[in-house]
Amino acid sequence: MTLTFEDFPVGRFGTFGPRHVSRDEIIAFASEFDPQPMHLDEEVAKRSMLRGLSGSGWHLCSLMMRMMFDGYIGRTASLGSPGVDEVRWLSPLRPGDELMLDVDVAAARVSRSRPETGIVTFALRVRNASGQVLLEAVSPIIIKRRAGPAARS
Amino acid sequence: MVRYFEDMKVGEHRDLGSFTFTAELIKTFASQFDPQPFHLDEEEGRKSLFGGLAASGWHIASVWMKLAVADGQREAAEAAARGEKPAMWGPSPGFRDLRWLKPVLAGDIISYASDVESLRASRSRPEWGVMQTRNTGTNQRGELVFSFLASVFVRRRSPLD
């Protein structure tokens, strides 16, 4: 069954994963979108602030998107997102990481301009197998409301 | 942006270049990271709020990074040609206020730019400063489609006392 706005009450929504991230994936993404030495070259990376090869922050965001899709967006009546309020990159993404995604609904409201839809604001946290938090984000998504009289109030 | 913290100035503007989002590139990125129907299929895109095959927002953001790195590499090469030693970028602690203002549809050409919005010393890391930039993407019709406020660590020429 497709999830709609009503299926996202404020509070804990769920935990998704694990998603394994390989060195090859990290280097492939960085080569295309973020070819800085700290994401490509082990030796340079060792001397960087992050002390070792790390994935691009945009790769981590994109992986979070895929984990959201596999976890719930893929079966949600999602109409897209207007943006991301905040992303904090707290620890580096490393080759071999097993990512877990914790999802909370921080806020949910009916759209004023499109009353047949609602805006669900998610608080997202990506952590690795040892529990280290890699990323925290706050991001709204536009989701269809269930058809029928209840959706027309 | 491969200069030292002390050399950066608030209000400084850089054009980062432009990028064409072809249907093929949109689908390739989406199939890997964001396989929602409106990012994968023309017909589904037309039926959606986007009104056509639309690039994933994370694709739009990742291409900003691609062009920003390319711009930095050009700047570094110019500095090296003048006999200067360019600074290396540090990592980013994150970003705020990212907005996908209008859809980026197949065939759209997006021009990216970056403006220095603030500069502050890092208390915890005396060898680094933190620079905030407002980054934007504008389509071929001059419409603002993408905007966000980035933070990045920038190396200081001389550490803070």
CB pairs under 8 A between A and B: 103
Instruction: Write down the domain spans for chain B.
Output: 5-155
Lowest average pLDDT, out of A139-153, B118-132, B139-153, goes to A139-153
CATH code where residue A31 lies? 3.10.129.10
A92 interfacial to chain B (CB closer than 8 Å): yes
User: Fold for domain B5-155?
Assistant: Thiol Ester Dehydrase; Chain A (3.10.129)
Inform me whether the pLDDT recorded for B16 exceeds 90: yes
Angle, CA of A68, B23 and A99, to the nearest 5°: 20
A33 interfacial to chain B (CB closer than 8 Å): yes
Rounded to whole angstroms, how far apart are CA atoms A40 and B142? Answer: 35
Task: Please return the burial class of B11, using the count of CB atoms within 10 Å of its CB with bins 0-12, 13-18 and 19+.
Answer: exposed
Among A19, A33, A81, the residue to mutate for chain B (most B Cβ within 10 A): A33
Of B136, B116, B127, nearest to B154 by C-alpha is B127
ipTM score of the complex? Answer: 0.95
Specify the 3-state DSSP secondary structure of B95.
Answer: strand
Among B36, B46, B59, B71, the residue to mutate for chain A (most A Cβ within 10 A): B36
Which chain A residues touch B66 with a CB distance below 8 Å?
Answer: 32-35
Of A112, A99, A80, nearest to A15 by C-alpha is A99
Which chain A residues touch B98 with a CB distance below 8 Å?
Answer: 83-85, 87
Q: Which H helix or E strand runs over B57?
A: helix B57-81
Q: Which H helix or E strand runs over B38?
A: helix B37-40
If pLDDT is split at 50, 70 and 90, which confidence band does A151 have?
A: very low
Q: Which of A32, A66, A79 sits opposite B49 (nearest CB)?
A: A79
Q: Where are the beta strands (DSSP E) in chain A?
A: 11-20, 78-80, 83-89, 98-110, 117-127, 133-144
Which chain B residues touch A35 with a CB distance below 8 Å?
Answer: 66, 69
Domain that holds residue A94: 5-152
Inform me whether the pLDDT recorded for B36 exceeds 50: yes
Cis peptide before B35 (omega within 30 of 0): no
CA-nearest residue of chain B to A80? B49
Average pLDDT estimate for A98-108:
98
* CB-CB under 8 Å, B98 with A37: no
In this prediction, residue A50 carries a pLDDT of: 84
Quickly tell me which residue has 């209840």 as its tokens: A150
Beta partners for residue B116, in sequence order: B133
* CB-CB under 8 Å, A33 with B65: yes
Q: Which residues make Cβ contacts (< 8 Å) with residue A90, sequence separation at least 6?
A: A133, A134, A135, A136
Question: Which DSSP letter does residue A93 get?
Answer: -
In this prediction, residue B103 carries a pLDDT of: 98
Around A26, how many Cα atoms within 13 Å sit in the side-chain half-sphere? 23
Specify the 3-state DSSP secondary structure of B144.
Answer: strand
* CB-CB under 8 Å, B58 with A61: yes
How near does any CA of chain A get to the CA of B75, in Å? 14
The domain tally of chain A equals: 1
CA Rg, chain B, in Å? 18
CA-nearest residue of chain B to A71? B34
Average pLDDT estimate for A32-51:
90
Q: Where are the beta strands (DSSP E) in chain B?
A: 13-20, 94-100, 109-121, 128-138, 144-155
Q: Percentage of chain B surpassing pLDDT 70?
A: 99
Q: Which residues make Cβ contacts (< 8 Å) with residue A117, sequence separation at least 6?
A: A5, A79, A110, A111, A142, A143, A144, A145
Q: Which H helix or E strand runs over B31?
A: helix B23-33
In this prediction, residue A20 carries a pLDDT of: 98
B88 interfacial to chain A (CB closer than 8 Å): yes
Task: Please return the burial class of B36, using the count of CB atoms within 10 Å of its CB with bins 0-12, 13-18 and 19+.
Answer: buried
Inform me whether the pLDDT recorded for A148 exceeds 70: no
If pLDDT is split at 50, 70 and 90, which confidence band does A153 have?
A: very low
Rounded to whole angstroms, how far apart are CA atoms B26 and B31? Answer: 9
Q: Percentage of chain A surpassing pLDDT 70?
A: 96
Tell me the C-alpha to C-alpha distance, in Å, between residue A145 and each of A2, A32, A110, A116: 11, 38, 8, 6
pLDDT in tens, B74-127: 988 998 899 988 887 788 999 999 999 999 999 999 999 999 999 999 888 999
More confident residue, A108 or B125: A108
A87 interfacial to chain B (CB closer than 8 Å): yes
How near does any CA of chain B get to the CA of A12, in Å? 23
Inform me whether the pLDDT recorded for A150 exceeds 60: no
Rounded to whole angstroms, how far apart are CA atoms A6 and A94? Answer: 37
Q: Which of B48, B54, B91 sits opposite A49 (nearest CB)?
A: B91
